[in-house]
């Protein structure tokens, strides 16, 4: 399968509900489901390279499911922007999993997608079809460096106007240096699904997401971040899934000290660092893909 199928799930909210989109690769009837959840301003097609590799290398049938978190990609935008927060995102994932009904469940989460994964794995009593078996946390942990949050605040919500995909790719590259080196074609492929036609101007492009996803992030303070960190450590310590932590060696979001602590407590994550990468590894380079595929399929 060279392209995924697009599906939707209806999710509840206080304003009457919304639809979340998800991209599905592989065998639509497979009981083994790998959910790949993206970062804060990204979307589910970020995982195209990894998804193709997992489908090709799996010893049996597998479905790789890559949601567009609400407000991003093909998903609806929320009427209340304060709904753009982790608890609501986790609720949407539960609705998706109820629709998918996996028999074996693995989770790959980059940055925000990893935090959602910690909630799904670490909060007791959630109505999961099955517990998560293996968890990949990509450059994220319970403690997020405050300076990285301040950096994200400087650009989040500025969706821009572009005359071409190449122009949009150059603009996103300027704020994504932490993704590490990629060929021009790799970067264009990563950027292709990051844009959509600008409303009222079919000749122009803009970034795919609702600018209002920035509102809760801008409202965050160092004090509220510290409270959230304490909650996330409790969730992390509850995780029973076998866990891999991938880290960009130059990451400004996940410190080496936090990674070391994650290796010593909770699920005692296996830690792998990728040289020359910051926040966050894209799972496009072959060594990154191999690392995740071996962990999930081995």
Alpha-carbon distance of 194 to 165, in angstroms, equals 9
Alpha-carbon distance of 208 to 74, in angstroms, equals 8
Hey, where are the domains in the chain?
5-147+222-297
Q: What is the DSSP string of 165-211?
A: HHHHHHHHHHT-GGG----HHHHHHHHHTTEEEETTEEEEEEESS-G
CB atoms within 10 A of CB 73: 25
Structure token pair of residue 17: 């509900």
Kindly report the CATH number that applies to the domain delimited by 5-147+222-297.
Answer: 3.40.50.1820
Low-confidence ranges of the chain (pLDDT < 70): 1
φ and ψ at residue 68, rounded to 5 degrees: -90, 105
**What's the pLDDT score for residue 73?**
98
**What's the pLDDT score for residue 26?**
98
pTM summary value: 0.97
109: left (phi over 0), alpha (psi -120 to 50) or beta: beta
Counting beta carbons within 10 angstroms of the beta carbon of residue 217, is it exposed (0 to 12), middle (13 to 18) or buried (19 or more)? Answer: middle
Structure token pair of residue 14: 């206080």
Alpha-carbon distance of 66 to 38, in angstroms, equals 8
**What's the pLDDT score for residue 201?**
78
**What's the pLDDT score for residue 203?**
86
The pLDDT tens digits of the residues spanning 232-287 come to: 999 999 999 999 999 999 999 999 999 999 999 999 999 999 999 999 999 999 99
């Amino acid at each position: 399968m060279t392209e995924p199928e697009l599906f939707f799930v209806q999710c509840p909210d206080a304003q009457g509900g919304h639809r979340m989109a998800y991209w599905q690769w592989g065998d639509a009837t497979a009981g083994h489901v790998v959910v790949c959840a993206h970062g804060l301003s990204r979307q589910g097609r970020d995982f195209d390279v990894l998804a193709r590799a997992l489908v090709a290398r799996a010893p049996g049938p597998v479905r790789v499911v890559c949601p567009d978190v609400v407000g991003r990609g093909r998903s609806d935008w929320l009427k209340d922007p304060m709904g753009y927060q982790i608890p609501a995102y986790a609720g949407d994932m539960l609705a998706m999993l109820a629709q998918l009904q996996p028999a074996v469940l693995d989770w790959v989460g980059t940055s925000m997608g990893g935090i959602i994964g910690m909630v799904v794995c670490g909060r007791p009593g959630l109505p999961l079809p099955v517990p998560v078996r293996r968890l990949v946390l990509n450059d994220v942990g319970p403690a997020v460096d405050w300076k990285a949050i301040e950096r994200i605040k400087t650009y989040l919500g500025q969706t821009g106007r572009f005359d071409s995909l190449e122009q949009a790719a150059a603009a996103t590259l300027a704020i994504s240096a932490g993704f590490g080196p990629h060929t021009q074609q790799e970067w264009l492929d990563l950027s292709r699904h990051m844009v959509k036609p600008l409303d009222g101007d079919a000749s122009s492009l803009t970034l795919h997401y609702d600018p209002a996803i920035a509102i809760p992030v801008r409202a965050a303070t160092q004090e509220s971040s510290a409270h959230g960190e304490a909650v996330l450590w409790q969730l992390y310590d509850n995780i029973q899934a076998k866990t891999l932590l991938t880290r960009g060696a130059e990451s400004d979001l996940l410190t080496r000290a936090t990674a070391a602590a994650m290796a010593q407590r909770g699920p005692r994550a296996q830690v792998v660092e990728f040289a020359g990468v910051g926040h966050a590894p894209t799972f496009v380079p072959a060594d990154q893909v191999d690392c995740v595929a071996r962990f999930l399929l081995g």
